[in-house]
Structure 1
Amino acid sequence: MEAVIRQLKEEEFGVLGDFLYEAIFIPEGVEPPPRDIMEKPELRLYIEDFGSSPHDIAFGAVCGGRIVGAVWCRIMADYGHVDDQTPSLAISLYSEFRGQGIGNQLMRAILNELRSRGCKQVSLAVQKANYAVKLYRSLGFETVSENTEEFIMIKKLTEDI
């Protein structure tokens, strides 16, 4: 099924909570956390009052009239924070829509939008075992730091991708 990639409207920002939960990396054989994990401050900062800053940008993938994936960014002190001028990205898709190139389309849309707004770079944090690391590297993200579980990656926004 073909996805339409477009900026999310303010009234659609509520879906970001669902996609934030979907973005939690669950290794093979591990039980997903309860939904109330979303109440943790370190997760709420990804979505709380989203749209209140000019740096809050979100794109959605729409299939059959339903939003099936989202990528969004804001400047925040999250896991991928590198400085107060660099937005941090989050992306996820419902599981049945993964592996079809939709994530790549979403990433390209938001990276080009950020570049067009004069943003110099964007960051993200990703679990080392997450298959999405391959996507991020293919889009030009480079690891700038890491800990035992995660890579912190940056993409310089010098040209359209």
Structure 2
Amino acid sequence: MEAHIDLRAATAADRRFIEDMAVEAFNWNPDRASLSREKVLSDPQLNKYVIDWPREGDSGVIAVGPGGESIGAAWLRFYTAENPGYGFVSEDVPELSIGVVAGWRGKGVGTALIRAVVATAGRVSLSVERANPARDLYLREGFRSLSSDKDADTMVRD
């Protein structure tokens, strides 16, 4: 069931919401102990996805529900070989991060966000745990596995 949503460009005013969506993304698995917002924002391996949002080169999209509330975000950020993200491919390929408020998952929000954020991006990468249901969404949206470790895939969309 697809809900009507609006999309708008992410701005510096969306920093806290993007941080919240990063926390949602890291806590996708209800069978695993949740990471607190404080843990995500204090861990250098996790906070690199949101620290100092927006930095030069960052871009993103916010999904807005019928009541005007922010319900999801997708954003792109570039990383360096010295400080890569989990889905790092190269310094000229941005990595996609996405989070959707729990009650809005499965309603087309993630699809709309992905399509909007990658429309002008060219090649995009991401990392996803294989057990994460979002992996199927990424495959439907044209991402392919480039490399894998024991639990996760680095995927790209050309």
Give the counterpart letter for 1:81 in structure 2.
Answer: F
Residue 74 of structure 2 is aligned with which of 71, 76, 79? 71
Contact in 2 for aligned 1:22/1:93 (Cα 8 Å): yes
- Aligned pairs for 1:147-158 within 5 A: 147-156=149-158
Contact in 2 for aligned 1:61/1:67 (Cα 8 Å): yes
Matched residues in 2 for 1:33 and 1:51: separation?
23
Residue 100 of structure 1 is aligned with which of 99, 107, 112? 107
Matched residues in 2 for 1:75 and 1:97: separation?
27
Matched residues in 2 for 1:112 and 1:66: separation?
24
Structure 2, gaps ≥5 residues long: none
Give the counterpart letter for 1:50 in structure 2.
Answer: W
Secondary structure of 1:80 counterpart:
coil
Deviations 1:5-27 (A, max 9, x none): 11112222221110000001443
Give the alignment's TM-score, normalised by structure 1: 0.88
Give the counterpart letter for 2:60 in structure 1.
Answer: A
Q: CA RMSD in A?
A: 1.3
Contact in 2 for aligned 1:19/1:69 (Cα 8 Å): yes
Secondary structure of 2:114 counterpart:
helix
Contact in 2 for aligned 1:19/1:70 (Cα 8 Å): yes
Residue 54 of structure 2 is aligned with which of 51, 54, 65? 51
Residue 91 of structure 1 is aligned with which of 95, 98, 102? 98
Matched residues in 2 for 1:90 and 1:57: separation?
11
Matched residues in 2 for 1:133 and 1:26: separation?
12
Q: How many residues align?
A: 150
4+ residue runs of structure 1 moved beyond 4 angstroms? none
Q: Which moved more, 1:42-51 or 1:29-38?
A: 29-38
Matched residues in 2 for 1:60 and 1:10: separation?
12
**Aligned residues with identical type, % of pairs:** 29
Residue 14 of structure 1 is aligned with which of 13, 16, 23? 16
Secondary structure of 1:124 counterpart:
strand
Matched residues in 1 for 2:99 and 2:143: separation?
17
Give the alignment's TM-score, normalised by structure 2: 0.90
Contact in 2 for aligned 1:143/1:152 (Cα 8 Å): yes
1:81 aligns with 2:88: yes
Matched residues in 2 for 1:60 and 1:33: separation?
23
Matched residues in 1 for 2:151 and 2:31: separation?
17
